[in-house]
Structure 1
Amino acid sequence: MALYNHKGGVGKTSLTVNLAASLAVLGRKVLLVDSDPQCNITSYLVEPNVVDSWLDGSSGDNGKTLWTGLQPIMDSTGPARKVEPVERMKNVFLLPGDIKLSDFEIDLHQFWSECYQRKNRGFLGTTALSSIANMAATKIDADYVFYDVGPNIGPLNRAVLLDCDYFIVPAACDLFSIRALKTLGHTLANWITDCRILEQLAPDSAPLLPGNPSFLGYILQKFRVYGGVITSGFAPYVSHLERAASTDLVKVLKRISPSLAVGSSADFKLGQIKDFGSIAALSQSQGKPFKDVDGGAEAQRLEAARAFANLAKAVETRINSLNP
């Protein structure tokens, strides 16, 4: 799955790290795939000097980043090859990103076009990232795979979202997040429709993306609380986001297939994560989930632990309800 919103600044990477950590506490094995050329989740979880050494040696069989797996596709020398996942905390593994993913994204334009020409190279390129993630997930026997994605609607995110079983939308309590849902819904609908056309065109031996990313729900982010209640400056956006999710995502996806957005409007709010202020900054600098940072107020750490534990349980409950 992916926590996806093409609007920037909604806390996708922090949310992914903390949700993964909370699922790991429940005993689940989680694979994080850094498919963002900015490498935010890799920078979050790996020391800068280690990241630099990985990037310097990313070519060849012994490379550590996703570029290692993608290079044969880019060079037209063979299929995608495996990348060894790196354990960053108990039960949480990482496939490190690489700035060269921006080069791969450029080639994805051509791969997509070649799919329409029924060329096997196009299908191999379009599914390359999926292949690498699947090999790593099998290696660690992962229960969940999370892609960390950049804030855009480009070809790289298209390949990622079409590989997902589910996606979750993190949404800040602001006007821009509400407006972004309309673009997001129509973009996803177009991607899914195009993918189904390619399924019909594909040669029998061609690998395919699943092309059925179901909307699991949305998470309210970036708001403040006073006395246990969302403050007045942010409160009006709660109902606006619920309506936008229903109108601009659920209804649009259901027109393609009811299975892409199952449930009533109340089912799609997975939870809410307030602005945790200083411990969020400590989390990024220390490479730890909010609950484990050194420093900050203990009450804040405990509150964060509860919030993300509840979110992890809500995600599992929602998935289980869709797969009885």
Structure 2
Amino acid sequence: MNKRPIRLTIYNHKGGVGKTTLTIHIASALALLGKSVLLVDSDPQCNLTSYLLADDVVDDLLDHSDGTDGQTIWTAVKPIFDNVGVGKHINPVRVGALTLLPGDIRLSEFEEFLGEAWTDSFKRRLGGLRAITSISDLVTHISIQEPIDFVFYDTGPNIGALNRVLLLDSDFFIVPVACDLFSVRALSTLGQTLKRWIIDAETIASIAPDGASLLAGRPHFLGYVPQRFKVYGQSITQESSRYLRQIKRRMYENVASVLRDIDSDLAPRASVDPVIGKVRDFASLMQIAQREGVAVWDCSGAYRSQKSTAKRIFMELASHIVATTSSET
């Protein structure tokens, strides 16, 4: 049996911070390091799937996801949603060096179902427990069928029931944040939300029937990644620098310290700035990459210097993730 892959979520309940783009680029950099990566598009908006696959392919996947030959994440969880059996195992899609479990807009329906299942889990009902672990079980099955080193869950910008089970299935999570006022303010509730989820998962585990499938329930805060800040020459602008200082303080006060109250191993020490990389604003270059469905260093056009800079930034991020997760698992 293959070793359990490291499961990560790049998560922030604030929208517009570049979660999907960051996920794709870290995954692409990990692939260049020789790591096998499974991307799970668990956002009903399907942004990750739309980034990597052509529009007609995405349309075809969504049109057939209800049928027996469907190949999206909705196809996999539909039997549980319909209360007709366990989750269906589907084969992921190869996209270059990456492996993708395609998303589906109908995950929004499953998210409502997961809210009820979470309540049922507190009542020791096996149906509820099977529902909240269904995506985790699907990932486990895929990882048994083929070697996977890293799993990335792509999440929507909310604190809903779907993101709850994804975070609680993750070994680590990374917080992307934009250098603006609204992103800084949003951090005030992030840690408390995660703390509540972890405590609830512990309660469910303590009362669950013997042999029931459970979520790991111990996501470690790997660090944060500021994005889209302005650089002139080699220097970060004064405004961006001001926000970076605020973000650093909020990350410790509102995320790391809150999680360390539960378990000191869940977040870096107070003396450590948990920033794991900084992604400057690549503006039009990133837009070209998104349009072409590739990593920014592989997109067409000029900008050779910017492409080289982007590749270096993401390769350093990926190397840090490999080193850190290897030492903590």
TM-score range, shorter-chain basis? over 0.9
Contact 1:278–1:296, Cα closer than 8 Å, also in 2: no
1:124-160 deviations in whole A, cap 9, x for unaligned?
0011111112212232211000000000000000011
| Corresponding letter in the other structure for 1:117 | K
Contact 1:163–1:211, Cα closer than 8 Å, also in 2: yes
| Map 1:25-40 → 2, pairs under 5 A | 25-40=32-47
1:185-221 deviations in whole A, cap 9, x for unaligned?
0000000000100011111121101100000000011
Shift of 1:279: 1.2
| Map 1:15-94 → 2, pairs under 5 A | 15-90=22-97, 92-94=98-100
| Corresponding letter in the other structure for 1:88 | V
Q: Which runs of no fewer than 5 residues in structure 1 stay unpaired?
A: none
1:77-117 deviations in whole A, cap 9, x for unaligned?
11112121111122x10000000100100101110111111
What's 2:315 paired with? 309
Determine what percentage of the aligned residue pairs are the same residue: 45
What's 2:269 paired with? 263
What's 2:305 paired with? 299
1:45-66 deviations in whole A, cap 9, x for unaligned?
0000000011111123321100
Q: Which runs of no fewer than 5 residues in structure 2 stay unpaired?
A: 1-7
TM-score (norm 2): 0.95
| Map 1:119-158 → 2, pairs under 5 A | 119-158=125-164
Alignment root-mean-square deviation, CA:
1.1
**Regions of 4+ moved over 3 Å:** 262-265
1:287-312 deviations in whole A, cap 9, x for unaligned?
00101001241111111111111111
Shift of 1:263: 3.2
TM-score (norm 1): 0.97
What's 2:15 paired with? 8
Shift of 1:237: 1.2
1:243-285 deviations in whole A, cap 9, x for unaligned?
1111111110011111211334435110100010111101111
What's 1:320 paired with? 326
Contact 1:279–1:296, Cα closer than 8 Å, also in 2: no
Mean alpha-carbon deviation: is it higher for 209-218 or for 51-60?
51-60
What's 1:163 paired with? 169
Contact 2:114–2:131, Cα closer than 8 Å, also in 1: yes
Contact 1:17–1:289, Cα closer than 8 Å, also in 2: yes
In structure 2, what is the Cα distance between the partners aligned to 1:294 and 1:140? 32
Q: 1:9 to 1:272 in 2, by over 3 A?
A: same
Mean alpha-carbon deviation: is it higher for 72-81 or for 261-270?
261-270
| Corresponding letter in the other structure for 2:184 | I
In structure 2, what is the Cα distance between the partners aligned to 1:264 and 1:319? 19
